[in-house]
Amino acid sequence: MRDDKDVVTKIVVGQAGRTRGEEVAEAIRNGIAEGRLAGGGRLNENELATMLGVSRTPVRSALATLAADGLLDYTPNSGYTVRRFTSGDIEDIFKVRVKLEGLAAGLAAQNGLSDAALGGMHRLMGETERLIDTHSWNAEIHNTWVDLNNQFHDHIYEAADNPYLIQTIRRANLSLFSLVRFHWFDNVLLRQSHEEHIELVDALENRDVQRAEFLQGEHVYRSGRRIVARWRRMEAMDGEKRISEAGGGRAGK
Amino acid sequence: MRDDKDVVTKIVVGQAGRTRGEEVAEAIRNGIAEGRLAGGGRLNENELATMLGVSRTPVRSALATLAADGLLDYTPNSGYTVRRFTSGDIEDIFKVRVKLEGLAAGLAAQNGLSDAALGGMHRLMGETERLIDTHSWNAEIHNTWVDLNNQFHDHIYEAADNPYLIQTIRRANLSLFSLVRFHWFDNVLLRQSHEEHIELVDALENRDVQRAEFLQGEHVYRSGRRIVARWRRMEAMDGEKRISEAGGGRAGK
DNA sequence: GCATGTGCGTTTGGATCCAAGAACGGGACG
DNA sequence: CGTCCCGTTCTTGGATCCAAACGCACATGC
């Protein structure tokens, strides 16, 4: 926080129907998702307010909201820190995600997807294949894939037609997406993920509820296994780093 | 809000480690859970502040938190209303709960429960049998059963050892528990629920993961079916009432 | 050298005030 | 009579100020 002026993006005030509090919440959310606000880091109301060009009031409103969203940890009279995730936490979240994403796919298969949605999914898969055919991997490709992947899942969510389920999934995903780094993946994993999507779409097209639920749950389970393994590795390296940095100050708690 | 002075319980200030904002949030949460704050009702910051003997600041903090918790709906520049649930909403939530509670039971069976926990569950079931043997039903019996039921599930949650899952379940339950009325149940349903608990405990004792997951999911599914049917009936009556009251003002939206 | 206590500065929680936005009511017009 | 417009009032969002709580650094005692 103290060393990077661009930690949160200065908010644009005046967007229709949005308060400054909402804008601040989004700026912080983005800062977390993009890794600029690190797990365990303290959020200082005054600094955020100065950085974003607002008073403390909307900052406090935003912090309260984000804490309830699970992105921040709150201690009364001490303030907010960015939620820190252990590999065990991530594993827990993925177990829940396996069930929820599986349910969403099963409901989508049960309800059926429109021709437009299926067409859209095929287009997204076509674009993913073009990414695969570059035989390369970098941050830009990863971001493109994340975007395509999100659109792919949005089609499923819409067909599932269960807003509470989708809200619950998005909440779980919110916590996770800030943790993922592009260099954990590569073109090979992209291809594997894509092949899983192919099978999932087949199940959806054939309205095979159990297959869709199983395939999507398995897809998420494998993804979770990889991310948890990576996080464990990082924790092992972090643990060594932490031992050497012990006694750093408030954030060291 | 305007007609009932006891809508929220006046907060007790000074409880260790809790801010007024947290106290206000709990008072409102209780008001919703106990049915004193009705779905669709507007929450007025000034009135709440006066009623609770605080300034608007902690009220606003509490409202932001409760909105993110899903208990309130927020409209920028217009404020907060208590979330209104349609029977479709409730059905959606129960579909998610079936999966999550099933997962919790499966994890508990996998991890195993301590002798103390199993003993505790047997004691709770014994107390439930005493309730059944009264062959009667009233609000007091219902409240006792809700308490026993919560303790029963707490044992499962603890054994599941997945904090994120339990947090997600509690979040779903928070929305639902404010909707349930004791006269929707009777001694017969209590017995049925109890018998389902007996089978669930058997699966847990035998560490039968799939059976535990299935039985708990089924238990929640049946409960959901009953509550949704009740809610639909209320909506039908409410719909007639609404037609005759149309144009009542803001809450009529 | 370590533990405990004290003081000071910083940060957060709450209160109050001001301004902006929404809602409501009344009047005018078709 | 219904709809639209305007003015007023109420409510909410934001800013600012004050006080309480916490954390950190330094001093003292064992």
**Per-residue pLDDT for B101 more than 90?**
yes
Final residue in a domain of this structure, among A50, A84, A118: A84
Same domain, yes or no: A27 and A9:
yes
Asked if the structure places residue B166 within a domain, the reply is yes
What's chain B's average pLDDT? 87
Same domain, yes or no: A134 and A222:
yes
Final residue in a domain of this structure, among B24, B57, B84: B84
Q: Which two structure tokens, joined as six digits, stand for A24? A: 């601040």
Which residues of chain A does B19 touch, with a Cβ-Cβ cutoff of 8 Å?
A: 76-77
Of A48-52, A169-173, B238-242, the least confident: B238-242
Count how many Cα atoms sit within 13 Å of the Cα of residue A209 in the half-sphere of its side chain. Answer: 7
Identity at A133, one-letter amino acid code: D
Banded model confidence at residue A1, pLDDT cuts 50, 70, 90: very low
**Per-residue pLDDT for A115 more than 50?**
yes
Same domain, yes or no: A112 and A77:
no
pLDDT, greater one: A207 or A237: A207
Which residues of chain A does B171 touch, with a Cβ-Cβ cutoff of 8 Å?
A: 168
Nucleotide whose C1' lies closest to the alpha carbon of residue B77: D12
In SS3 terms, A131-182 reads as: HHCCCCCCHHHHHHHHHHHHHHHHHHHHHHCCHHHHHHHHHHHHHHHCCCCH
pLDDT, greater one: A207 or B136: A207
pLDDT digits (tens, 9 = 90+) for B20-61: 999 999 999 999 988 888 888 999 999 999 999 999 999 999
By residue range, what is the domain housing residue B6? 1-84
CA–CA separation, A87 and B179 (whole Å): 37
A250 touches strand D (CB under 7 A): yes
**Per-residue pLDDT for A3 more than 90?**
no
Whole-number Cα distances in Å, B207 to A95, B196, B204, B224:
19, 17, 5, 26
**Per-residue pLDDT for A246 more than 50?**
no
Asked if the structure places residue B250 within a domain, the reply is no
Asked if the structure places residue B49 within a domain, the reply is yes
At residue B118, the 3 state secondary structure works out as helix
Same domain, yes or no: A38 and A67:
yes
Yes or no, beta carbons of B95 and A162 under 8 Å apart: yes
Same domain, yes or no: A7 and A92:
no
Banded model confidence at residue A180, pLDDT cuts 50, 70, 90: confident
Distance (Å) from the alpha carbon of B197 to chain A's nearest alpha carbon? 23
The residue in chain A having the minimum alpha-carbon distance to the alpha carbon of residue B102 is A99
Banded model confidence at residue B215, pLDDT cuts 50, 70, 90: very high
Instruction: Pick the closest to residue A80 from A24, A5, A9 (CA basis).
Output: A24
Nucleotides of D strand lying within 7 Å of any protein CB atom? 11-17, 21-25
- Helices (H) then strands (E): counts for chain A: 9, 3
β strands within chain B, DSSP E:
42-43, 72-75, 79-82
**Which candidate in A22, A89, A164, A221 is best for mutational testing of the B interface (most B CBs within 10 A)?**
A164
The residue in chain A having the minimum alpha-carbon distance to the alpha carbon of residue B57 is A57
Give the total number of structural domains in chain B: 2
Q: For nucleic chain C, which protein residues have CB less than 7 Å from any of its atoms?
A: A 17, 42-46, 56-57, 60, 74, 76-80; B 19-21, 54-58, 61, 75-78, 249-250
Asked if the structure places residue A247 within a domain, the reply is no
pLDDT of residue B175: 78
Banded model confidence at residue A249, pLDDT cuts 50, 70, 90: very low
**Residue recorded with tokens 């959806």:** A204
Do residues B60 and A21 make contact, with C-beta atoms less than 8 angstroms apart? no
CA–CA separation, A159 and B61 (whole Å): 36
Q: Which two structure tokens, joined as six digits, stand for B23? A: 């106290």
Which residues from the 67-96 window of protein chain A have CB within 7 angstroms of nucleic acid chain D?
A: 75-78
Nearest to B165 among A18, A77, A95 (CB): A95
Same domain, yes or no: B120 and B215:
yes
Same domain, yes or no: B80 and B91:
no
Same domain, yes or no: A166 and A186:
yes
**Residue–nucleotide distance: A248 CA to D10 C1' (Å):** 51
CA–CA separation, A1 and A251 (whole Å): 11
CA–CA separation, B143 and B147 (whole Å): 6
ipTM of the complex: 0.87
pLDDT of residue B165: 97
Who contacts B97 (Cβ-Cβ below 8 Å, separation ≥6)?
B169, B172, B173, B176, B220, B224
Neighbours of B213 (CB within 10 A): 23
pLDDT of residue A2: 42
At residue A39, the 3 state secondary structure works out as coil
- Specify the CATH number for the domain of residue B192: 1.20.120.530
- Helices (H) then strands (E): counts for chain B: 9, 3
What's chain A's average pLDDT? 87
Same domain, yes or no: A94 and A201:
yes
Of A143-147, A199-203, A234-238, B231-235, the least confident: A234-238
Distance (Å) from the alpha carbon of A216 to chain B's nearest alpha carbon? 15
**Which candidate in A20, A75, A107, A168 is best for mutational testing of the B interface (most B CBs within 10 A)?**
A168
**Per-residue pLDDT for A203 more than 50?**
yes
- Specify the CATH number for the domain of residue B64: 1.10.10.10
pLDDT of residue B180: 79
Yes or no, beta carbons of B100 and A103 under 8 Å apart: no
pLDDT of residue A240: 54
pLDDT digits (tens, 9 = 90+) for A24-43: 999 999 999 888 888 889 99
Asked if the structure places residue A248 within a domain, the reply is no
Helix (H) or strand (E) segment spanning residue A79: strand A79-82
Question: Residues of A at the B interface (Cβ-Cβ below 8 Å)?
Answer: 17-19, 21-22, 60-61, 64-70, 76-77, 89, 92-93, 95-96, 99-100, 102-103, 107, 162-165, 167-168, 171-172
Same domain, yes or no: B187 and B138:
yes
**Residue–nucleotide distance: A168 CA to C21 C1' (Å):** 32
Asked if the structure places residue B246 within a domain, the reply is no
Asked if the structure places residue A252 within a domain, the reply is no
Instruction: Pick the closest to residue A196 from A171, A217, A215 (CA basis).
Output: A215
**Residue–nucleotide distance: B148 CA to C13 C1' (Å):** 37
Same domain, yes or no: B127 and B233:
yes
At residue B109, the 3 state secondary structure works out as helix
pLDDT digits (tens, 9 = 90+) for A65-109: 999 999 999 999 999 999 988 999 999 999 999 999 999 999 999
Helical pair A163-177 and A87-111, crossing angle rounded to 10 deg:
150
**Residue recorded with tokens 């990082």:** A234
pLDDT digits (tens, 9 = 90+) for B112-144: 999 999 999 999 999 999 999 999 888 889 889
Asked if the structure places residue A250 within a domain, the reply is no
Do residues B48 and B24 make contact, with C-beta atoms less than 8 angstroms apart? yes
CA–CA separation, A226 and A185 (whole Å): 9
Burial B60-98 (b: 16+ CB within 10 A, else e): bbbbbbbbbbbbbebeeeebbbbbebebbbbbbbbbbbb
The DSSP secondary-structure symbol of A81 reads E
CA–CA separation, A94 and B60 (whole Å): 33
Banded model confidence at residue B253, pLDDT cuts 50, 70, 90: very low
Q: How distant is the alpha carbon of residue A123 from its chain centre? A: 23
Same domain, yes or no: B153 and B168:
yes
Torsion region of A77: left, alpha or beta (phi above 0 gives left; psi -120 to 50 gives alpha): left
Average pLDDT of B178-197?
A: 86
Final residue in a domain of this structure, among A53, A84, A115: A84
The residue in chain A having the minimum alpha-carbon distance to the alpha carbon of residue B17 is A76
